């Protein structure tokens, strides 16, 4: 908070309220950026993550937090935005092989497009996104070649880019990190993981299911890092 207006470098941070994006916010802040956090209400069933995003952006001293409403549930096609079943209890090998129902069509492209527009308005040359190509669910819009292609497109798409004054960069600092490394990094930077949410299918009380891909990867990461996960999980037999 204290350095809010003295930081000259500005960055737009895509902040979902999950473990990865909250760590990314801490990384950007540590690198000296004034952080403009961007979150979306997109019809996701895990809308509780937005509360966490608000908490973390305030706690980590964001310059601004913008929450936009976009109705991706009207498009559907994903277990996160419709009544489709969230896969539970998948093996880590299966996660690497098939793109699950929790994939949201076009999500990162849509989010990055909003981030690009806001970056141009606030005068930010940098966008941070918490995508990860290792411990993840096999989503196509989390791969390095996708991020590179978007960066190239953003330079063609913006006034700032075509006038040659500025060059937009997309940072994906967690791209090649394991969950264990991400948790260790965030812990060292003072992230409070109690103020993050990962579960795709939380109960009405907000507790994580412990069985979806996001929960399983998170639990594995904390176990490997030797750090206690501060979240509460539902017992297996609970619905
Ligand atoms: Zn879960």
CATH code at position 81: 3.40.50.620
> Can you spell out the DSSP letters for 29-81?
HHTTPEEEEEEEE-S-TTTHHHHHHHHHHHHTT-SEEEEEE--GGGT--STTT
- The number of domains in the chain is 1
Residue 173 lies in a domain: yes
Give the pLDDT confidence score for residue 3 in this predicted structure. 46
Q: Is residue 88 part of a domain?
A: yes
**Domain presence at residue 59:** yes
What whole-number distance in Å separates Cα of residue 129 and Cα of residue 22? Answer: 10
- Closest C-alpha among 19, 27, 12 to residue 113: 12
DSSP 85: P
149-178: pLDDT as tens digits: 999 999 999 887 888 777 899 999 999 999
Compute, in angstroms, the gap from residue 55 CA to the centroid of ligand 1: 20
Residue 94: inside a domain, yes or no? Answer: yes
Average pLDDT rounded to a whole number, residues 16-43? 96
Task: Judge whether 225 lies within some domain.
Answer: yes
* 163-179: burial string, b at 16+ Cβ within 10 Å, e else: eeebebebbbbbbebbb
Q: Is residue 93 part of a domain?
A: yes
What is the model's pLDDT at position 64?
Answer: 97
Question: Which contiguous run of DSSP H or E holds residue 11?
Answer: strand 10-14
Query: Residue 50: which of 61, 36, 39 has the closest Cα?
Result: 39
Q: If you measure from the C-alpha of residue 14 to the centroid of ligand 1, how many angstroms do you get, rounded to a whole number?
A: 21
**pLDDT (mean) for 121-129:** 96
Please give the model's pTM, rounded to 2 decimal places. Answer: 0.92
Q: Which pLDDT score is estimated for 1?
A: 45
What are the residues whose beta carbon lies below 5 Å from ligand 1 (ion)?
A: 199, 208-209, 212, 215
Distance 176 CA to ligand 1 centre (A): 23
| Centre of ligand 1 from the C-alpha of residue 52, in Å | 16
5 pLDDT exceeds 60?
no
| C-alpha 142 – ligand 1 centre gap (Å) | 20
Would the pLDDT of 21 be above 70? Answer: yes
Other beta carbons within 10 angstroms of residue 14's beta carbon come to 23
Its domain, for residue 135, covers 10-238
* Dihedral angle of Cα 96, 102, 106, 112, to the nearest 10 degrees: -80
| 170 is a domain residue | yes
Confidence of residue 83 (pLDDT cuts 50, 70, 90): confident
CB-hemisphere CA count at 13 Å for 31?
17
Express as a percent the part of the chain with pLDDT over 70.
Answer: 95
CA–CA gap between residue 50 and residue 122 (Å, rounded): 22
User: Is residue 2 in a domain?
Assistant: no
For the segment 71-95, the average pLDDT, to the nearest whole number, is 89
């Amino acid at each position: 908070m204290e350095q809010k207006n003295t930081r000259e470098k500005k960055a737009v941070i895509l902040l979902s309220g999950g473990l990865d994006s909250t760590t990314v916010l801490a990384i950007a802040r540590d690198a000296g950026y004034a952080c403009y956090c961007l979150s979306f209400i997109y019809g996701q069933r895990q809308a509780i993550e937005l509360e966490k995003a608000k908490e973390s952006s305030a706690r980590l001293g964001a310059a601004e937090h913008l929450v936009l409403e976009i109705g991706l549930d009207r498009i559907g096609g994903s277990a996160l935005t419709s009544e489709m079943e969230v896969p539970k209890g998948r093996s880590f090998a299966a996660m690497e092989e098939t793109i699950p129902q929790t994939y949201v069509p076009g999500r990162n492209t849509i989010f990055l497009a909003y981030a690009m527009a806001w970056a141009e308005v606030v005068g930010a040359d940098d966008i941070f996104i918490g995508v990860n190509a290792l411990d993840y669910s096999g989503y196509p819009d989390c791969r390095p070649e996708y991020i590179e292609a978007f960066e190239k497109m953003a330079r063609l798409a913006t006034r700032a880019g075509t006038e040659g004054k500025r060059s937009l960069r997309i940072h994906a600092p967690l791209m090649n990190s394991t969950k264990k490394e991400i948790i260790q990094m965030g812990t060292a930077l003072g992230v409070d993981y109690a103020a993050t949410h990962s579960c795709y299918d939380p109960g009405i009380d907000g507790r994580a299911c412990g069985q979806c891909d996001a929960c399983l990867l998170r639990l594995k990461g904390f176990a490997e890092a030797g750090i206690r996960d501060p979240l509460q999980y539902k017992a297996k037999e609970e619905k």
